[in-house]
């Protein structure tokens, strides 16, 4: 591979998505120096250059070939409709695009939006949702502070990103109709090949290892020999658990990996089968 080849990645310059993206890059073992206010940065131990941009601009930069890859929310990607491909879903910065109305108003279904004025920064996603539900509504496209639109008489409802819902509540609104689920995704140019493609594959290998580690825990426990088979069925591991004899006759130490989603249910079952001294340890990297 040419030593001068680099992978240019576009990342949001500030905000939660930026923090989560850079944290993932660090967990992939990639170091970089980013001065305050800088819009470019270089990795020190991986052939990668960072472009720090507005999130709305990232799909365009990737589609136009200025950046090879980018990290952006699916909501922005769907709204911009640029010629890029989703290389990998990243599992963080999850949110939803929802319709909200004043708290004092009842909501009886999507048909209630017919003939209403809806303010949003995502007119294309909203238009698609309304069309699919045979609703005729007037869309007002505005940028920023969408939640104040009903209060100043600009709209009857809004369509905006929701995470906790606290901003809606503060502005006298309530969420009534989720229309789009979003998370961060890694996007790339559709024609990527050669050295850039090889670098992307290396990066994806690291990302998958980090994600697998986040989703799993390493578990160690002591168990009676008579319970080995039943406990093996509870903690199968990637292939099967490691089993080591203990100094105390009739007991073994078992080591395995369990999924984060199954964690508490598995622990309860292990205790019921006589497992003792259960230790659960975070995994930094997990190579599948």
pLDDT in tens, 238-260: 678 899 999 999 999 999 998 88
User: In sequence order, what DSSP letters do the residues of 27-90 get, joined into one string?
Assistant: HTT--EE--TT-SEEEESSSSEEEEEE-GGGHHHHHHTTSSSEEEEEHHHHHHH--S-EEEEE-
Sign of CA dihedral 211, 215, 219, 225: negative
Please determine whether the domains at 95-181 and 216-282 fall in the same fold group of CATH. no
Helix (H, G, I), strand (E, B) or coil at 101: strand
**Domain edges within the chain:** 7-93+183-213, 95-181, 216-282
Identify the pLDDT of residue 261: 83
Task: Tell the CATH topology of 7-93+183-213.
Answer: D-Maltodextrin-Binding Protein; domain 2 (3.40.190)
Find the distance separating the first CA and the last CA of the chain, reported in whole Å. 25
Spelled out in words, what is the top-level CATH class assigned to the domain 216-282? alpha beta
The string of pLDDT tens digits covering residues 47-70 is 999 999 999 999 999 999 999 999
* Rounded-to-integer distance, Cα 43 and Cα 29, Å: 10
Identify the pLDDT of residue 2: 47
Q: Which pTM was predicted? A: 0.84
Domain 95-181 in CATH: superfamily? Periplasmic binding protein-like II (3.40.190.10)
Identify the pLDDT of residue 193: 86
Element (H, E) at 129: helix 123-132
Predicted confidence pLDDT, tens digits, the chain (288 residues): 444 689 999 999 988 899 999 999 999 999 988 765 678 999 999 999 999 999 999 999 999 999 999 999 999 999 999 999 999 999 999 999 999 999 999 999 999 999 999 999 999 999 999 999 999 999 999 987 899 999 899 999 999 998 777 888 888 999 999 999 999 999 999 988 899 999 999 999 999 999 988 888 899 999 999 999 999 988 876 678 899 999 999 999 999 998 888 888 888 999 999 999 999 898 888 887
Per the listing, tokens 């130490």 go with: 253
């Amino acid at each position: 591979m040419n030593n001068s080849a680099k992978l240019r990645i576009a990342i949001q310059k500030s905000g939660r998505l930026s923090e989560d993206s850079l944290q993932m890059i660090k967990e992939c073992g990639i170091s970089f120096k980013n001065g305050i206010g800088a819009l470019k940065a270089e990795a020190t131990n991986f052939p990668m250059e960072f472009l720090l941009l507005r999130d709305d601009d990232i799909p365009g930069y990737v589609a136009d070939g200025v950046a090879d890859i980018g990290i952006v929310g699916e909501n922005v990607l769907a709204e911009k409709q640029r010629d890029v491909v989703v290389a990998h879903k990243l599992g963080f910065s999850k949110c939803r695009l929802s319709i909200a109305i004043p708290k004092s108003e009842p909501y009886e279904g999507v048909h209630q939006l017919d003939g209403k004025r809806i303010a949003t920064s995502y007119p294309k996603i909203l238009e698609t949702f309304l069309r699919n539900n045979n609703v005729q509504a007037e869309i007002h496209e505005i940028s920023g502070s969408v939640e104040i639109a009903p209060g100043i008489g600009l709209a009857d409802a809004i369509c905006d990103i929701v995470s906790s819902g606290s901003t809606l509540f503060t502005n006298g609104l309530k969420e009534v109709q989720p229309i789009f689920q979003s998370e961060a995704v890694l996007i790339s140019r559709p024609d990527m090949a050669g050295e850039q493609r090889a670098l992307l594959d290396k990066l994806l290998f690291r990302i998958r290892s980090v994600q697998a580690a986040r989703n799993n825990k390493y578990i160690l426990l002591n168990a009676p020999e008579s319970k080995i088979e039943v406990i093996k069925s509870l903690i199968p591991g990637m292939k099967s658990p490691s089993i080591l004899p203990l100094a105390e006759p009739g007991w073994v130490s078992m080591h395995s990996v369990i999924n984060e989603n199954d964690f508490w249910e598995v622990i309860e079952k292990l205790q019921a089968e006589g497992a003792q001294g259960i230790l659960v340890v975070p995994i930094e990297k997990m190579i599948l």
